[in-house]
Amino acid sequence: MFVDRVQIELQAGKGGDGCSSMRREKYVPRGGPDGGDGGRGASIILEAKLGVNSLAAYANRKFYRAPKGQPGQGSMCHGRKGGDQILYVPPGTTVIDAHQGFVIKDLTHHGESFVIARGGKGGRGNAHFKSSANQAPRESTAGEEGETRLVILELRSIADVGLVGKPNAGKSTLLSRISSARPEIADYPFTTKHPNLGIVEADEERSFVLADIPGLIEGASEGVGLGHEFLKHVERAGLLVHLVEPKPVDGTDPLQNYNAIRAELIEYDPDLGKRDEILVVTKMEMEGAEEVRDQLRESTGKEVFMISAATGEGLAELTHRIMDQVMLRRQRMENEGEVVPKLRVSDESTATRQRRVPPHLAGPTSDLSNEHQAKDKEGEQVSRKQGRKHHGSGNDSGNDSDKAVP
């Protein structure tokens, strides 16, 4: 189940209460106050983590409470603090305050985290209140309450490339042909109801993440056909691949369909109109595909690719062109000082990880074998020591004889 928007309530842990205690021990007169402080309450932390693909884990649970701190005890024993609770969300999650509507944090990079609800401080024991004027204080303070926040988690998929177009334009089929993703495919519109991500391997060293955005229709920028739910996933795509069907099932004109989708993108966010775009005519085996290509080329002045997901023709050329565009964008971001987000766990981290060696191969017995036993090693050490002793005694006798000569 794909979930891209949830509302949850978060409550941090309460701080432990301070202790009011007096030291009473035999032979220790006037022991004085010895109440310890309470432990700090646990905080709730939101962290973006690769491998988490949706907010489905928070769909059925609406309230999260972090552990509280333990109270202090006598003999100056402080209470144990609560362990912080970490909630993992996909990269690209926006945290919104549910009451005021402002954005608290945008978690776009893997490993990025922040404290969304801070735990309460622990109370003070009566040992803190002793002074020359009050040598036997009885007062102590209670722990502070943890923060409580009602937040909205909204996921906007992060991908290098986003596939856009009218329903039934062949977006899911293209994703399934050039990646390992297996989205639902059927011969009717609106088969895709949520974004699907796939990793495309252009060659052994280069790859990119491709997002299949559900089909858009006229009025999507105003929310028609769940337009807002779909368009928000296009915002983070660095490159748009616009698929145009040569013969739509509803009989509409392909060029008008292209212009309509472009208008909806610009209406939703003007920056989307400035985004790099690659035009693709799908189902090139159908009649009239070349005419549609020529019309798009003449109208836009851009290069137009033709592909057939059924036969595989044109897929390799399109994949390499997309990869080149993605590499140029990444290089441009690095030159401008921006951080290129990691979209998947790197294979290099696992390749360079050192393999753990068993103790019998890493300790002093690592060089033992059937031919070289421990007793042989002990014999070599004994002979080596005797040789050093004999060599040292010979040097000493030689020095004595030299001294005896006048």
Q: Give residue-wise pLDDT tens across range 195-221.
A: 777 778 877 778 888 878 775 655 545
Q: Which amino acid is at 296?
A: L
Query: What is the model's pLDDT at position 350?
Result: 41
Q: Where are the domains of the chain?
A: 1-129+137-155, 161-338
Tell whether 170 is in a known binding site: yes
Q: Which amino acid is at 332?
A: R
Residue 388, CA distances (Å) to 381, 383, 385, 392, 402 in order? 11, 9, 5, 6, 21
Query: What is the model's pLDDT at position 30?
Result: 77
Tell whether 352 is in a known binding site: no
How does pLDDT run across 349-364, given as a tens digit for each residue? 444 456 677 766 676 6
Tell whether 322 is in a known binding site: no
Q: Please count the other Cβ atoms lying within 10 Å of the Cβ belonging to residue 39.
A: 26
* CA separation for the pair 93, 157 (Å, rounded): 8
Query: What is the model's pLDDT at position 272?
Result: 81
Tell whether 81 is in a known binding site: no
The hierarchical CATH code for the domain 161-338 is 3.40.50.300
Query: What is the model's pLDDT at position 96?
Result: 92
Query: What is the model's pLDDT at position 85?
Result: 94
Tell whether 169 is in a known binding site: yes
Residue 1, CA distances (Å) to 8, 64, 92, 388 in order? 18, 21, 18, 76
Tell whether 171 is in a known binding site: yes
Q: Please count the other Cβ atoms lying within 10 Å of the Cβ belonging to residue 314.
A: 17
Whose structure tokens read 């999507």? 220
Query: What is the model's pLDDT at position 299?
Result: 87
Query: What is the model's pLDDT at position 377?
Result: 64
- What DSSP line would sit under 136-156, residue for residue? S-----PPPPPPEEEEEEEE-
**Mean pLDDT by groups of 10 residues along the chain of 406 residues:** 80 94 83 91 92 83 93 91 92 89 88 92 91 88 93 82 82 82 58 70 79 64 52 78 85 85 83 85 86 88 87 88 87 75 52 62 70 68 63 52 46
| Closest listed residue to residue 95, CA positions, set 106, 87, 84 | 106
CB-based contacts of 312, cutoff 8 Å, min separation 6: 177
Are 36 and 79 spatial neighbours (Cβ–Cβ below 8 Å)?
yes
Query: What is the model's pLDDT at position 55?
Result: 85
Q: List beta partners, residue 94.
A: 106, 154
How does pLDDT run across 107-144, given as a tens digit for each residue? 888 888 999 999 999 999 999 898 888 888 989 999 99
Tell whether 63 is in a known binding site: no
Q: Domain 1-129+137-155: which CATH class? A: mainly beta
Query: What is the model's pLDDT at position 194?
Result: 64
Tell whether 212 is in a known binding site: yes
